[in-house]
Structure 1
Amino acid sequence: MPLVSTASVYIGTRFLLAIFGVFGLCTVLIFMIDFVELLRQAGKYGSVPGYKLAWITLLRLPAYTEILLPFAVLVGSISALLMLSRKSELAVMRAGGMSVWQILRPGACVGLLLGLLSSTAFNPLAANARDRSEKVYSKAFGRESSPLGKGAAGTWLRQDGTDGQSVLTASSAKEKGAVLGTVTAFVYDKNGRFSERVDAAEARLYDGFWLLRPALVSRMGREPEKFNSYLLSTYLTPERVVDALGSVISVSFWELPDLIYVTERAGLSASRLRIQYELLLSRPLLCVAMVFLAATVSLRSFRSGGIQTMVVTGMVGGFGFFLFAEISRQIGTAGLAPVWAAVWVPVLLAILVSVTVLLHQEDG
């Protein structure tokens, strides 16, 4: 038993180091790419010190790299198992009576732990860092890094409130979507009939209402009227409006349940939020699936040959799985399949296929 325990710690350490190595390499590449993009923007919008660009890049880095964890687990697991096989350590362990499941158990535990930490700790850290990076970006460049993203003018927000529903669009957004610029709102009464159109230079979100000012209100059969301020009721809150306007990248795992509730109450579709929440919930099991998938192509002895072919097969299978998972996610977002099925079915399918292959390799 002590030998098994020592071997498990050794195997787990190999998995952990290999995964961190792959993740670190990907992180460096992403940092360089994003830093070069910020340099391009600095040349376009104004001179910004290099250290400030580097700080913005570092703050944005966690949000960009957290989605790479499953890929790092896949490649790192393949690397760890191949290193053990190259040094004949796998052959010695198998000769000592260890089954493939005992060999993979430390790696699966490492993947499970990394997935849990990624969803519950790293994701909130990435969301907070992303939010702070937008503020630093705004001060450095003198313009907002808008959550509306590119093509913001085509983004429409449908909402509900105590006075009825309304639809609005804006050309820009800041403060995580709580302040909109150049706003147009189409207001409907409680019976769903069109009431008026409101054009404003700015809209600021408070608890229970938008404050638009200055506002130009146009009604059927009446001349447009100008108001210094105009109140538009909404069930959205300043803390929960960001995803209705754009990406969920700045929303923490712990904030998603409340955000889903408020978004649905406001009459908005919460499918993207539910998909994101299910993805974070499934990430630990996804990392375990990547360990099993890596094992299907990495347990063969180097003396038997064909290692390169097996590794290429594993990488192609991994990319195929990620493509299938992305297609499934898009289907769930479009409402063509239940959210839980769109997220969990690819993960469970990967585990079932990998375990079947491993059983066949182990027992014939």
Structure 2
Amino acid sequence: MDFFPSRTLAIYMAKMFIVRTLAVLALLVLVLQALDLLGESGKILAYPGNGEAELWTYVSLRAPQLVARFLPFSVLLGTIITLATLNQNSEVISMKAGGLSAHQILAPLIVASMGVALISFLFNETLVAPSTARLAQWEKVEFGPIPEESNIRTNVWVKDGNNLINARSVTGRGEQVVLRNVTIYSRTENGLRSLLQGDEGRFTGSGWRLTNVSRFDVGTGIEEQSPEVLIGDSIRPDQFTLTNVSADSLSIFALRDAIAELEQAGRPTTSLKAGWWHKISGPMSSILMPLLGAVAAFGLARSGQLFIRAVIGMALGFAYFVADNFALAMGNIGAYPALLAAWAPFLLFFLIGETVLIRTEE
């Protein structure tokens, strides 16, 4: 049960693992960011006034998403490269000759991956979620300027009977919600009846007060101006703030509050609950990677099967990601309970990895 009989050896292996993981991550992010920027630069520069600064802004918002998405892949590849190198140089044989078990050989990598998982969770909460929300807002306004206020939602649509209401931006929460650049499409079954536009809308407790309003009647072709109009006594503020809640764009605590508000409003929250649990299980997938890639560490390198073992390790790791995405998709549509959707792949592949390790090496 002494998983670290040699402090020097543990530090040596952990350092190798971390360096190779970071190198693989940097290479993946660099290549994928370049390809992604090539695909999106045309849309960014299409907006009048955008230039090089906006391209760098896009990179700063997109890069954290790529880091978060491909960090577990990098841990897997870093594990396989580290263990295959140790095996190729007969260092694993030396460790086993010194009395170390397979679990003792992997222990430094697993502890290092726990640190990676913790850093990944904090990185997702503090940087990835805000950048994802900001990028989604920027894409909705077609890479034009967006207001700097916090907690902003852009291009929000709400249906009120036959009528459609569009707010270019929504800020605030509860009864303090403020709508800007509001357009109301009054419709009948046969088509559009009138168009109402206002600069700003505020909730009064029983309706909405629009300022600087212009109303265009489609039937008569007459446009009327009004400084203030009261509308929408049946429209609640949460219809604007709780529409299109994205688990990826919120931190774990903000998502918890959004789920509570949605449940209070009687909205479905199954997919968001699965996303909430996945915010914890997702970073923890890094802990599995040394276990799934461990098959590359053992067996004699001169037997010619080292490449096959590395391929098996990669196959196990990628099979986990496939199962994880499938379970999360099932959770989003309500086919799996949220807890099962987030944690079942992790537990399943932990058992698979332990089984392979024990049956082959222990």
| TM > 0.5 fold call | yes
Shift of 1:134: 6.2
Alignment correspondent of 1:290: 289
1:272 maps to a residue whose letter is S
- Paired with 1:68 and 1:43, the residues of 2 have a C-alpha distance of 27
Alignment correspondent of 2:339: 340
- Indicate yes or no: 2:316 matched with 1:317: yes
- Indicate yes or no: 2:61 matched with 1:62: no
Aligned Cα root-mean-square deviation (Å): 4.0
- Indicate yes or no: 2:222 matched with 1:228: no
- Paired with 2:273 and 2:162, the residues of 1 have a C-alpha distance of 22
List aligned pairs for 1:249-288, cutoff 5 A.
249-288=248-287
* Pair 1:303–1:198, CA change in 2 (3 A): farther
* Pair 1:212–1:76, CA change in 2 (3 A): farther
Alignment correspondent of 1:123: 125
- Paired with 2:169 and 2:135, the residues of 1 have a C-alpha distance of 12
Deviates more, 1:106-115 or 1:134-143: 134-143
CA contact (8 A) 1:39 1:53 kept: yes
CA contact (8 A) 1:144 1:173 kept: no
Alignment correspondent of 2:220: none
Superimposed CA distance per residue, residues 2-31 of structure 1 (whole angstroms, 9 cap, x where no aligned partner): 961111111111111111111111211232
Shift of 1:259: 1.8
Find the structure with the greater CA-based Rg.
2
The count of corresponding residues between Structure 1 and Structure 2 is: 333
CA contact (8 A) 2:153 2:170 kept: no
- Indicate yes or no: 2:77 matched with 1:75: yes
CA contact (8 A) 1:168 1:183 kept: no
Alignment correspondent of 1:247: 246
- Paired with 1:103 and 1:59, the residues of 2 have a C-alpha distance of 39
Deviates more, 1:31-40 or 1:177-186: 177-186
Please give the secondary structure, in 1, of the residue aligned with 2:243: helix
* Pair 1:333–1:199, CA change in 2 (3 A): farther
1:76 maps to a residue whose letter is G
Please give the secondary structure, in 2, of the residue aligned with 1:244: coil
Superimposed CA distance per residue, residues 198-253 of structure 1 (whole angstroms, 9 cap, x where no aligned partner): 9754685769786667598xxxxxxxxx9724255536398xx3x73253332112
- Paired with 1:307 and 1:167, the residues of 2 have a C-alpha distance of 66
User: Structure 1: any 5+ residue segments left out of the alignment?
Assistant: 159-164, 187-196, 217-225
Alignment correspondent of 1:11: 13
Superimposed CA distance per residue, residues 59-113 of structure 1 (whole angstroms, 9 cap, x where no aligned partner): 2311332122221111111111111112222111111111111111111111122
- Indicate yes or no: 2:90 matched with 1:88: yes
* Pair 1:180–1:333, CA change in 2 (3 A): farther
- Paired with 1:324 and 1:353, the residues of 2 have a C-alpha distance of 13
Give the TM-score normalised by structure 1: 0.76
CA contact (8 A) 2:259 2:273 kept: yes
Q: Percent identity?
A: 25
2:120 maps to a residue whose letter is S
Alignment correspondent of 2:27: 25
